[in-house]
Structure 1
Amino acid sequence: MLRDETILFTTEEAAAADADSVGRGIEIAALMERAGYAVAASALRHFPEARKIAVLCGPGNNGGDGYVAAKVLASHGCNVAVFSWGRSSVEGAARDARERCPLPIEPISAYAPERDDLVIDALFGAGLTRPLPEPVQTLIEAVKLADASVLAVDLPTGICGNQGRMRGAAFDADVTVTFEARKPGHLLMPGRAFCGTVEVASIGMPRRIVEQHARSVSVNNPKAWQIEYPLIEANTHKYRRGHLAVFSGGRSHTGAARLAAAAGLHAGAGLVTVGVPPDALDVAAASLTAVMVRSVSSRLDVEQWLSEAKIHACVIGPGFGVGETIRDYIEVLAAKPCVIDADAITSFSSNPGQLFATFKNIGSPYILTPHEGEFARLFPDLARNDSLGKIERARLAAARSGAVVIDKGPDTVIAAPDGRCLINENAPPWLATAGSGDVLAGIAGAHLAQGMPAYEAAAAAVWLHAQAAQHAKRGMTAEDLVTAIPSALESLNPL
């Protein structure tokens, strides 16, 4: 059976799955034995040139996996040395694994890393919730200075499994071997940067147990939203595919809205119209062809437009300008599904509750697309709370605002007010370029205009946006990103 790569385990869920497996007759020692064999196999496969393998074992089950791996590697003729932390506190299956390890066991203070070493980090794994002890931090620095290779068991020591945060220091792994499913810390920054290549090994846990417990957060990919993705049927026409309205700033600030509009058209909206101030009509009209333009200069103009035209969704914020005008527009636009982006977010920084109440009172779905700074403007208390990871803060923001929140970054998190949550992982680093966020807003708007629910619309937009960047390749501009959307859409076949 193929493994479902969208599944993620929080550390609590992984522990619950272990306990459930034991309750159904699978001994924890058997799981540990298989985990240790998987680690040893990975070490032999990836690091055949290692002159010495130093296995660093902690006091918990992670350390138990290390003791098993050390025994297996020694049986294959490898030069293996075992070092422990907290030896006196080892209990249960990990203690039994240590006692079955035939090699001498020294304290980690006795290990002096060398360049040709392979370090198997089986110290603390994913469950770490406190800063690392100073001797462990010192050892991590020594391993880095020696430039030794590192294979991490479950997660590099020093990285929080749920939040991806670094607890004082962390091993910089070349390879990480985890079991049954990845953890959020494998995807969230900065943890992702410390994991190297992540391998997921099956250790005999029944698939039904994995799927039963891995429920709180998943990887964003088409499986999460494809059932809601709009199909282009043989008898469709442009009006059935939705009319998207994008609102632009003044004469010298139309570029962002034009990017969003073009992205919306490429992403499937049947019609896209850009609402622009009268002084910008000629600029917009001269640079847009398939996208229509309309003069809009007041709240009354917006009300009249929405009463005359069948608008299915709106995007407001890219290049619009901060101030009272955009707040007035949004009071009207809240009657439609909306993407609230950029300047629209900043315009409510002094009173975020006004934005939230506007949509809650009317009941229309909406998507917020903040980057880190914009998130802090709408949710300053959440941004300041160092105990919250990106998943927790996105969920709390979605619940408070009633919006689907796209908390942007290299590890974008999509959260719904009902607690559903996805982590995106397909974005290449060159997606960080001027205008990229405007393109994302346009794609999300197109999905809303085509009738997708807000959560699925946002998740699909984030994935498609990143997929387009992969097709556009290094050196791309936001304009290149727009024109790469059709190629990215081909990845959705046979949708």
Structure 2
Amino acid sequence: MSDAQEWGADQVRERWAVPGAGDDKYSRGVVGVIAGSEAYPGAAALVVSGAARAGAGMVRYVGPLRAQDLVLHHRPEAVVHDPGDAAERLPRAQAWVVGSGVADYPEQDAAIGSAMASGAPLVVDAGALEAVARARATGSREAAADRVLLTPHAEELVRTLRALRHDVSLGDVMDDRAGHARLLAETARATVLLKGSRTVIASPGGTVVMLPEAPAWLATAGAGDVLAGIAGAALASGLSAADAGACASWLHARAGEVASAGGPLVALDIATAIPQAIGSILR
């Protein structure tokens, strides 16, 4: 697109938060994660790993016991919470990542509702996309449009737009990815990160950011969960949704290059490589 802004290492370097001598775990940003389920516990571990490796000062996880156990196995520094308790009294967090791998768990759904109602910045993925987009489209907008990042892939974008009464097909979206990302951004009054080989980020008002082409090896299960965690850390540091999404997407691709070294990778490899990807632009 001729009117899209390009994004690269310089833009990430200018915006990415680097801790100083006076920082503590709270000032660096606390990320809350409501993700995973008994059926898909791995999503929880991947989102939490993405946020922790991207520099969040603390990550809080809300979900069922099986997912809690897996999170603590991979990230023992995480703090876990029962979803029923979190729905009643939401833990302290500067940003929330919700929806990755959630599946038919009423207490977790209630916790997502509490995160939405809190007005805190949100990264919204997978299983929460349609509900959050519908709520925002009908006027429930406790968080501003530049503090909410929706992260669909193309098929999820189709389903979400249809839930908002837009009659679109996958072919329509693939023919005009930026245009349909803009459509969701305007309808839901939120920033949209449309995942793909070239990620597109659209904000209400028409601003579009286009990321460089990412390594094709990133087309692997769970990679989007790691991306959501990185974006959550960026939001918790104080970035706008558009800047958080663009920085997270660029670093995700760079971590993929590091982890791949030209060959296959799995999602947890991406999370492990995030510190090296960040370090490469801060030297």
On whether the aligned pair clears a TM of 0.5, the verdict is: yes
Offset of residue 325 of structure 1? 5.1
- The answer to whether the Cα contact below 8 Å between 2:63 and 2:108 also exists between their aligned partners in 1 is no
- The answer to whether the Cα contact below 8 Å between 2:153 and 2:196 also exists between their aligned partners in 1 is yes
Question: C-alpha separation between the residues in 1 aligned to 2:114 and 2:269?
Answer: 33
- The answer to whether the Cα contact below 8 Å between 1:331 and 1:358 also exists between their aligned partners in 2 is no
The residue type paired with residue 282 of structure 2 is N
Residue aligned with 1:452, SS = coil
| Residue 117 of structure 1: aligned partner | none
Q: Determine which structure has greater relative contact order: mean sequence separation of CA pairs < 8 Å that are 6+ residues apart, divided by chain length.
A: 2
Offset of residue 276 of structure 1? 1.8
| Residue 304 of structure 1: aligned partner | 89
C-alpha distance 398-280 of structure 1, shift in aligned 2 (>3 A): closer
| Residue 40 of structure 2: aligned partner | 253
| 2:119 counterpart of 1:332 | no
Residue aligned with 1:379, SS = helix
Say which of 134, 156, 173 aligns to 1:353. 134
Offset of residue 449 of structure 1? 0.9
| Residue 108 of structure 1: aligned partner | none
Question: C-alpha separation between the residues in 2 aligned to 1:230 and 1:359?
Answer: 30
C-alpha distance 366-487 of structure 1, shift in aligned 2 (>3 A): same
The residue type paired with residue 161 of structure 2 is F
C-alpha distance 323-421 of structure 1, shift in aligned 2 (>3 A): farther
Question: C-alpha separation between the residues in 2 aligned to 1:322 and 1:369?
Answer: 20
| 2:280 counterpart of 1:487 | no
| 2:151 counterpart of 1:369 | yes
Offset of residue 252 of structure 1? 4.2
| Residue 159 of structure 1: aligned partner | none
Residue aligned with 1:315, SS = strand
Offset of residue 401 of structure 1? 1.2
The residue type paired with residue 342 of structure 1 is A
The residue type paired with residue 235 of structure 2 is L
C-alpha distance 282-403 of structure 1, shift in aligned 2 (>3 A): same
Question: C-alpha separation between the residues in 2 aligned to 1:273 and 1:353?
Answer: 26
| Residue 241 of structure 1: aligned partner | 28
**Pairing of 1:423-434 with structure 2 (within 5 A):** 423-434=210-221
Question: C-alpha separation between the residues in 1 aligned to 2:159 and 2:282?
Answer: 39
| 2:8 counterpart of 1:221 | yes
Tell me which protein shows more helix as a share of its residues: 2
The residue type paired with residue 129 of structure 2 is I
Deviations 1:278-326 (A, max 9, x none): 46544443443122212223xx6324133xxx31111111111157655
Offset of residue 344 of structure 1? 1.1
| Residue 20 of structure 1: aligned partner | none
| Residue 436 of structure 1: aligned partner | 223
CA RMSD across the alignment: 2.4
C-alpha distance 359-329 of structure 1, shift in aligned 2 (>3 A): farther
| Residue 122 of structure 1: aligned partner | none
Structure 1 residue ranges without an equivalent (≥5): 1-7, 11-215
| 2:115 counterpart of 1:341 | no
**Pairing of 1:187-206 with structure 2 (within 5 A):** none
- The answer to whether the Cα contact below 8 Å between 2:61 and 2:78 also exists between their aligned partners in 1 is yes
**Pairing of 1:30-41 with structure 2 (within 5 A):** none
- The answer to whether the Cα contact below 8 Å between 1:342 and 1:370 also exists between their aligned partners in 2 is yes
Indicate the percent of aligned positions where both proteins have the same amino acid.
33
| Residue 316 of structure 1: aligned partner | 98
Residue aligned with 2:249, SS = helix
> Structure 2 length as normaliser, TM-score?
0.87
Question: C-alpha separation between the residues in 1 aligned to 2:278 and 2:259?
Answer: 13
Question: C-alpha separation between the residues in 2 aligned to 1:275 and 1:382?
Answer: 35
Offset of residue 358 of structure 1? 5.9
C-alpha distance 222-291 of structure 1, shift in aligned 2 (>3 A): same
Question: C-alpha separation between the residues in 2 aligned to 1:392 and 1:398?
Answer: 10
C-alpha distance 382-462 of structure 1, shift in aligned 2 (>3 A): farther
Question: C-alpha separation between the residues in 1 aligned to 2:59 and 2:33?
Answer: 7
The number of residues matched between the two structures is 273
- The answer to whether the Cα contact below 8 Å between 1:411 and 1:423 also exists between their aligned partners in 2 is yes
| Residue 53 of structure 2: aligned partner | 266
| 2:196 counterpart of 1:409 | yes
The residue type paired with residue 20 of structure 2 is E
C-alpha distance 487-296 of structure 1, shift in aligned 2 (>3 A): same
- The answer to whether the Cα contact below 8 Å between 2:197 and 2:213 also exists between their aligned partners in 1 is no
- The answer to whether the Cα contact below 8 Å between 2:200 and 2:208 also exists between their aligned partners in 1 is yes
| Residue 144 of structure 1: aligned partner | none
- The answer to whether the Cα contact below 8 Å between 1:359 and 1:366 also exists between their aligned partners in 2 is no
C-alpha distance 223-323 of structure 1, shift in aligned 2 (>3 A): same
Question: C-alpha separation between the residues in 2 aligned to 1:255 and 1:291?
Answer: 15
**Pairing of 1:255-294 with structure 2 (within 5 A):** 255-278=42-65, 280-294=67-81
C-alpha distance 479-282 of structure 1, shift in aligned 2 (>3 A): closer
Offset of residue 399 of structure 1? 1.6
**Pairing of 1:22-33 with structure 2 (within 5 A):** none
The residue type paired with residue 304 of structure 1 is R
Name the larger-Rg structure. Answer: 1
Deviations 1:16-60 (A, max 9, x none): xxxxxxxxxxxxxxxxxxxxxxxxxxxxxxxxxxxxxxxxxxxxx
| Residue 205 of structure 2: aligned partner | 418
Offset of residue 226 of structure 1? 4.0
Question: C-alpha separation between the residues in 1 aligned to 2:138 and 2:230?
Answer: 25
- The answer to whether the Cα contact below 8 Å between 2:151 and 2:228 also exists between their aligned partners in 1 is yes
Residue aligned with 2:21, SS = coil
> Structure 1 length as normaliser, TM-score?
0.51
Residue aligned with 1:233, SS = coil
Question: C-alpha separation between the residues in 2 aligned to 1:250 and 1:218?
Answer: 37
C-alpha distance 465-358 of structure 1, shift in aligned 2 (>3 A): farther
